[in-house]
């Protein structure tokens, strides 16, 4: 069975590896993980370190815009469904039969 590690544990090990006070092998033995995992977590920390200093306002405004657009689309779909149901009902009243597709 595959082990899973939480984010805090990975960050702790990656930071310790980044400090360079111990070798990757020593860190791996101390925490009971494979040295390749320590290497991967260290590399992942280095790759994503830049995102820590990005402004979160950009993400928030983009998410808000996407949510607003999604709400508009749901509203439009709802209106079209109401119109479609109304037209089907009127067609049945006028023609006396179900509409064909």
Q: What tokens appear for 85 in the block?
A: 């149901």
The reported pLDDT for the residue numbered 86 is: 94
Q: What tokens appear for 71 in the block?
A: 């709400």
The reported pLDDT for the residue numbered 69 is: 95
Pick the CATH number of 1-55 from 3.30.1360, 1.10.510, 1.10.10, 1.10.3470: 1.10.10
Instruction: Kindly give the confidence (pLDDT) of every residue in the chain, 101 residues in length, as a single tens digit, with 9 standing for 90 and above.
Output: 888 999 999 999 999 999 999 999 999 999 999 999 999 999 999 998 888 877 666 667 778 889 999 999 999 999 999 999 999 999 999 988 877 76
Count Cβ atoms below 10 Å from residue 13 Cβ, excluding itself: 22
The reported pLDDT for the residue numbered 59 is: 62
Dist CA 75 CA 56 (whole Å) = 29
The reported pLDDT for the residue numbered 61 is: 77
The domain locations on the chain are: 1-55, 62-101
């Amino acid at each position: 069975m595959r082990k899973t590690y939480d984010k805090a544990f990975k960050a702790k090990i990656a930071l310790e590896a980044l400090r360079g006070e111990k070798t990757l092998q020593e860190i791996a033995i101390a925490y009971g993980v494979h040295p390749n995992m320590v290497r991967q977590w260290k590399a992942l920390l280095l790759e994503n370190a830049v995102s820590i200093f990005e402004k979160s306002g950009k993400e928030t405004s983009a998410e808000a815009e996407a949510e607003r657009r999604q709400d508009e689309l749901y509203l439009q779909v709802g209106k079209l469904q109401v119109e479609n149901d109304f037209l089907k009902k009127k067609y049945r009243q006028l023609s006396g039969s179900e509409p064909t597709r």
